[in-house]
């Protein structure tokens, strides 16, 4: 196991052994960030769900009010006038079924895919390529729709998708360390609320086991789950 | 969680398991070991639910998935290799088909219908994704690649594959399913070295709990974190990997032996006391208490010695320095070229291991040397006075069906008498009626033992062994290792058992694209050197220069034989410090042992004073007692009373002796109590 550097250790020392509220934690994480660059702020929820059961999958999307601070390259696969609509809405790449061919040949230079339902017959064939990368469009998260313009704008505006992994953890970003505290707090609250609302009815016991926030290079700050639960 | 409680299982009159209590918690990585026929497979079958116990219970937490790989004859559905692998995921593929159907309908639907279809497809896609549907095929292909299948094999019908490769496919299918518990019965039997190494790494990262039956000690050392030993129908669990288990067991056996000896000594002391004072009224209570003490004493059972045996090869005649010289050997089977100019020189007393993937030509090379297969080109020269003997991979090929074990030996050495042959067969575990078994009914291990027995009649001075450890249990493998260590001739062998190669080989020759690369040392040295110099197989195929470099020149010539490997890199480190026996742990236990020894010595020094005191008192008691007996005898004799005053004098002496003895007994009693107190206090 790798060891941590001096800056990390120094940052670690500034975290007390107690859970923090969001209002306390965000300024702390910003203050103790060890590096010089504009670090991304991340949040991790350990949930009381068993992701092996399909009915306990936690998954959803949420539009962060102030975005993630990262620009996403969006690909739109559509037909007819929807292509122009997508381009107008800010899609980085837009095209018809020829794009499917291009992806099958190995091109995956984008961060999100939006498709119209009528193209899914062809886009469905890309499951083995896009699926493992988490890029497969899905109506459940709003990326298979005729309203491509809205879907693209939402992604560009900071729509994040969250999904529980096999260790029952949801990881997500909620901004950059350059954001001011108020924006970060609003983003974090929105995300926490979305995760709390996505609680599957079949989940047993305590839903929020533990929650931590951190910056890219910084140590995790534990959050008080009780104060988070009161957000809903 | 799996729990076996008081499980018993008999086959006819043969009691295999009796009162087995064994818990396998989630996350365990258990190596299941024990001699042939001890009940390892029975245990796995009981857990897998393929057999039911005669008494006791097998409890498995509800919802726990199990995957069982039998030793032989695993069943797979018909169809292509890839289809068979994916067959257990029928439900996932049903979802995929449903999704495709929905996507088709979505292409033409509109309005409310389209909305419904889109929503439904989202749900189905979500379930498909959650079941790992998107990367299932990719994972299947990775596993098949690791187990030695070429991409072209994926579409081939399963029935075209040999039994060994079908077993590999069955193993692959299990690995793909990722059950909570993987029960693997000899998973490495059908794998070549590359596949074993891959499987080790794969299982090392697998989320499943493992219960593995294996005779591959390196495999167990690298994977197992505990060893369950089946012995005498019971299961005993030991922490650590296989090597650590062996050491621990030896220590436990030694401790039990010492404890039993101490107890025997103590029993002897108590019995002596009882014997001495049995009829003495004043000591009656003490005697009674000691009798009870004897009854209550817990006796340590001695642990049975592990089954082991050994044999040796007879002395051999000395051959010339150069034993064999293969030059530019070429051999093809149809379109498949297995040897493309293999060159190799073997010197006297070399112990050369041939390694490489299945089908690369290792056996062919041995067969060409043995004169059983003709090479397409190149030359094979054997040195002066070289007497070559060949041990085939499929031993049955060399045994004559219809013959008994004894007849097989007699056919090989007609000059030797039956008695001599039977005693030799006895060494190889064929005793009594076993020698009259027909060779075709022998088990794989027995056939190999018979072939080894036959080999010891006249091994020649150049032995060619093709997978000699196949089907052999661990004690027999160890016996073979020992015997080969004492063999005076030259050895060329093929083996997939890394432990065996490390123990026996002084040189490893690796096959790559029909060419040979030679490395000095055992398998670990070969691995380290191969890693240091880049993958030898690739090196051989990539360039002409590399190809020339990979040919093996005469051993004494300067040049390309890589220098003895310096162990380096993580793989090497892992090979040298198996799980559970890490460096610091060893140091800690050594330090601990030193401290324990010091404490023991200090205690023994303290106890010695007490023991010496007892001995000194006993030394006084003995002459007193014998004199007392003499006086008692004299007083009983009528002559004593003829001499005036003698009886009186004797009577007085007796009285004084009795008083002294009473004091001495008290003293002895006190001293033994002190010793006991001291012993129990310091224990």
Does B584-682 match B42-244 at the fold level?
A: no
Residues in chain B closer than 8 A to A59 (CB atoms) = 126
pLDDT at B532 (0 to 100): 66
Q: Does domain B584-682 have CATH number 1.10.287?
A: yes
What are the φ/ψ torsions at residue B77 (nearest 5 degrees)?
-65, 160
Asked if A54's CB is within 8 angstroms of B131's CB, the reply is yes
* Per-residue pLDDT tens digits for B613-629: 888 888 888 888 888 88
* Per-residue pLDDT tens digits for B423-445: 888 888 788 888 888 887 777 67
Mean pLDDT of B19-34: 91
Segments making up each domain of chain B, as ranges: 42-244, 245-296, 322-534, 584-682
Is residue A80 less than 8 Å (CB to CB) from chain B? Answer: no
Q: Class for domain A74-156, per CATH? A: alpha beta
| Cβ density class A188-205: b for 16+ within 10 Å, e for less | bbbbbebbbebbbeebee
Segments making up each domain of chain A, as ranges: 15-67+160-229, 74-156
* Per-residue pLDDT tens digits for A114-173: 999 888 888 988 888 898 888 899 888 888 988 889 899 888 888 888 988 888 999 999
Asked if B104's CB is within 8 angstroms of A131's CB, the reply is no
Asked if B131's CB is within 8 angstroms of A121's CB, the reply is no
Instruction: Quote the percentage of chain A above a pLDDT of 70.
Output: 99
Asked if B134's CB is within 8 angstroms of A132's CB, the reply is yes
Higher-pLDDT residue of A40, B591? A40
Closest CA to A146 of A183, A172, A114: A114
Query: Alpha-carbon Rg of chain B, whole angstroms?
Result: 35
Give the separation between CA B148 and CA B202, rounded to whole angstroms. Answer: 14
* Per-residue pLDDT tens digits for B497-537: 888 999 899 999 988 777 788 888 888 888 888 766 544 33
Instruction: Quote the percentage of chain B above a pLDDT of 90.
Output: 15
Instruction: Quote the percentage of chain B above a pLDDT of 70.
Output: 89
**Best mutation site among B93, B134, B137, B180 for testing chain A: the one with the most A CBs within 10 Å?**
B134
Architecture of domain A15-67+160-229: 2-Layer Sandwich (3.30)
pLDDT at B682 (0 to 100): 54
Nearest to B107 among A51, A118, A128 (CB): A118
Residues in chain A closer than 8 A to B86 (CB atoms) = none
- Scanning every residue of chain A, which has its alpha carbon at the shortest distance from the alpha carbon of B131? A54
**Best mutation site among A60, A120, A125, A147 for testing chain B: the one with the most B CBs within 10 Å?**
A120
Tell me the pLDDT band of A224, cut-offs 50, 70 and 90. Answer: very high
pTM of the predicted structure, to 2 decimals: 0.66
Please enumerate in sequence order all residues whose Cβ is within 8 A of that of B314, keeping only pairs 6 or more positions apart, or say none.
Answer: B456, B458, B459
pLDDT at A187 (0 to 100): 93
Residues in chain B closer than 8 A to A202 (CB atoms) = none
pLDDT at B394 (0 to 100): 67
CATH number listed for the domain at residues B322-534: 3.40.50.300
pLDDT at B610 (0 to 100): 81
pLDDT at B396 (0 to 100): 59
Higher-pLDDT residue of B77, A181? A181
The answer to whether the complex's ipTM is over 0.90 is: no
Mean pLDDT of B414-423: 83
pLDDT at A20 (0 to 100): 94
Give the separation between CA B683 and CA B671, rounded to whole angstroms. Answer: 18
Say if CB B675 and CB B614 are below 8 A apart: yes
Q: Which two tokens stand for residue A107?
A: 């091109």
Asked if B107's CB is within 8 angstroms of A136's CB, the reply is no
Tell me the pLDDT band of B583, cut-offs 50, 70 and 90. Answer: very low
Is residue A121 less than 8 Å (CB to CB) from chain B? Answer: yes
pLDDT at A25 (0 to 100): 93
Mean pLDDT of B331-354: 87
Over 70: is that where the pLDDT of B578 sits?
A: no
What are the φ/ψ torsions at residue A53 (nearest 5 degrees)?
-90, 125
Asked if A138's CB is within 8 angstroms of B122's CB, the reply is yes
Architecture of domain B42-244: 3-Layer(aba) Sandwich (3.40)
- Residues facing A162 on adjacent strands: A60
Tell me the pLDDT band of B577, cut-offs 50, 70 and 90. Answer: very low
pLDDT at B28 (0 to 100): 92
* Per-residue pLDDT tens digits for B61-116: 888 889 999 877 777 778 888 888 888 888 888 998 999 899 888 888 888 888 88
Over 50: is that where the pLDDT of B34 sits?
A: yes
* Per-residue pLDDT tens digits for B292-323: 888 888 888 777 777 677 788 888 888 889 99
Asked if B106's CB is within 8 angstroms of A121's CB, the reply is yes
The helix/strand/coil state of B406 is helix
pLDDT at B538 (0 to 100): 33
Asked if B117's CB is within 8 angstroms of A121's CB, the reply is no
Asked if B130's CB is within 8 angstroms of A140's CB, the reply is no
pLDDT at A171 (0 to 100): 94
Give the separation between CA A164 and CA A51, rounded to whole angstroms. Answer: 7
Say if CB A179 and CB A69 are below 8 A apart: yes
Higher-pLDDT residue of B563, B169? B169
Give the separation between CA B346 and CA B369, rounded to whole angstroms. Answer: 12
Over 80: is that where the pLDDT of B573 sits?
A: no
- Scanning every residue of chain A, which has its alpha carbon at the shortest distance from the alpha carbon of B105? A121
- Scanning every residue of chain B, which has its alpha carbon at the shortest distance from the alpha carbon of A56? B130
pLDDT at B395 (0 to 100): 63
Q: Any idea which of A69-83, A94-108, B63-77, B568-582 has the lowest mean pLDDT?
A: B568-582
Q: Which two tokens stand for residue B554?
A: 């005469």
What does DSSP assign to residue B562? Answer: P
Residues in chain A closer than 8 A to B135 (CB atoms) = 128, 131-132
């Amino acid at each position: 196991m790798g060891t941590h550097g001096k800056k990390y250790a120094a940052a670690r020392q500034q975290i007390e052994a107690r859970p923090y509220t969001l209002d306390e934690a965000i300024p702390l994480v910003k203050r103790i960030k060890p590096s010089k660059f504009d670090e991304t702020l991340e949040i991790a929820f350990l949930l009381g769900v068993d992701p092996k059961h399909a009915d306990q999958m936690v998954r959803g999307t949420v539009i962060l009010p102030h975005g993630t601070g990262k620009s996403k390259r969006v690909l739109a696969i559509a037909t007819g006038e929807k292509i122009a609509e997508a381009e107008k809405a800010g899609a980085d790449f837009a095209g018809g079924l020829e794009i499917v061919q291009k992806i099958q040949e190995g091109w995956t230079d984008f961060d999100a895919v939006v498709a119209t339902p009528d193209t899914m017959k062809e886009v469905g064939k890309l499951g083995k390529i896009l699926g493992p990368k988490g890029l497969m469009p899905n109506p459940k998260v709003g990326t298979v729709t005729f309203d491509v313009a809205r879907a693209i704008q939402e992604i560009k505006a900071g729509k994040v998708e969250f999904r529980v992994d096999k260790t029952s953890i949801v990881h997500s970003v909620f901004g950059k360390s350059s954001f001011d505290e108020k924006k970060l707090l609003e983003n974090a609250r929105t995300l926490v609320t979305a995760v709390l609302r996505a609680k599957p009815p079949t989940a047993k016991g305590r839903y929020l086991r533990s929650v931590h926030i951190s910056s890219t290079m910084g140590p995790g700050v534990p959050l008080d789950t009780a104060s988070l639960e009161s957000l809903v | 969680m799996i729990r076996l409680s008081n499980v018993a299982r008999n086959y006819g009159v043969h009691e295999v398991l009796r009162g087995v209590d064994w818990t396998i918690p989630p996350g365990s990585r258990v190596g299941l070991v024990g001699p042939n026929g001890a009940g390892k497979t029975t245990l796995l079958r009981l857990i897998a639910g393929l057999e039911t116990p005669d008494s006791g219970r097998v409890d498995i937490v509800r919802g726990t998935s199990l995957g069982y790989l039998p030793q032989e004859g695993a069943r797979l559905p018909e169809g292509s290799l890839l289809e068979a692998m994916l067959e257990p995921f029928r439900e996932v593929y049903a979802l995929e088909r449903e999704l495709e159907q929905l996507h088709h309908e979505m292409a033409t639907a509109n309005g409310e219908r389209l909305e419904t279809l889109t929503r439904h497809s989202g749900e189905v896609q979500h379930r498909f994704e959650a079941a790992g549907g998107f990367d299932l095929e990719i994972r299947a292909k990775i596993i098949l690649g690791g187990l030695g299948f070429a991409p072209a094999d994926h579409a081939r019908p399963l029935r075209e594959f040999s039994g060994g490769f079908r077993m590999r496919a069955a193993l692959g299918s299990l690995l793909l399913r990722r059950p909570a518990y993987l029960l693997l019965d000899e998973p490495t039997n059908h794998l070549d070295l590359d596949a074993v190494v891959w499987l080790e790494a794969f299982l090392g990262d697998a989320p499943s709990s493992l219960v593995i039956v294996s005779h591959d000690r390196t495999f167990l050392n690298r994977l197992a974190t505990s060893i369950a030993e089946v012995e005498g129908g019971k299961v005993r669990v030991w922490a650590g990997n296989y090597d650590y288990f062996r050491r621990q067991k030896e220590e436990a056996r030694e401790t039990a032996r010492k404890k039993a000896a101490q107890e025997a000594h103590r029993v002897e002391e108590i019995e002596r006391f009882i014997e001495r004072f049995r009829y003495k009224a004043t000591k009656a209570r003490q005697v009674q208490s000691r009798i009870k003490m004897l009854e209550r004493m817990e006796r340590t059972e001695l642990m049975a010695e592990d089954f082991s045996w050994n044999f040796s090869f007879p002395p051999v005649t000395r051959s010339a320095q150069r034993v064999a010289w293969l030059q530019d050997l070429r051999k093809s089977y149809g379109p498949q070229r297995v040897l493309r100019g293999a060159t190799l020189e073997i010197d006297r007393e070399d112990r050369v291991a041939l390694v490489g993937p299945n089908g690369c030509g290792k056996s062919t090379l041995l067969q060409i040397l043995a004169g059983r297969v003709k090479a397409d080109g190149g030359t094979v020269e054997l040195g002066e006075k070289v007497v070559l003997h060949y041990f085939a991979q499929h031993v049955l090929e060399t045994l004559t069906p219809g013959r008994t074990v004894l007849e097989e030996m007699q056919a090989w050495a007609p000059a030797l008498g039956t008695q001599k042959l039977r005693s030799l067969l006895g060494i190889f575990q064929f005793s009594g009626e076993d020698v009259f078994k027909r060779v075709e009914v022998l088990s794989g291990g027995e056939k190999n033992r018979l072939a080894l027995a036959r080999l010891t009649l006249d091994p020649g001075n150049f032995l060619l062994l093709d997978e000699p450890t196949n089907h052999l249990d661990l004690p027999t493998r160890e016996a073979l290792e020992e015997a080969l260590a004492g063999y005076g001739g030259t050895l060329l062998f093929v083996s997939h058992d890394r432990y065996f190669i490390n123990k026996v080989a002084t040189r490893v020759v690796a096959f790559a694209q029909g060419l040979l690369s030679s490395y000095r040392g055992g398998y670990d040295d070969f691995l380290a050197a191969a890693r240091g110099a880049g993958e030898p197989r690739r090196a051989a195929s990539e360039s002409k220069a590399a190809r020339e470099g990979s040919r093996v020149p005469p051993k004494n010539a300067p040049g390309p034989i890589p220098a003895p490997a310096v162990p380096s890199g993580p793989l090497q480190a892992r090979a040298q410090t198996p799980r559970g026996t890490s460096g610091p742990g060893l140091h800690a236990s050594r330090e601990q042992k030193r401290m324990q020894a010091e404490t023991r010595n200090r205690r023994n020094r303290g106890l010695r004073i007490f023991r010496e005191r007892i001995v000194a008192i006993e030394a006084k008691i003995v002459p007193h007692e014998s004199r007392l007996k003499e006086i008692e005898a004299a007083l009983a004799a009528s002559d004593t009373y003829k001499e005036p005053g003698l009886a009186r004098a004797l009577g007085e002496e007796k009285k004084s002796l009795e008083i002294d003895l009473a004091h001495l007994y008290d003293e002895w009693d006190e001293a033994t109590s002190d010793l006991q107190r001291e012993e129990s206090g310091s224990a």
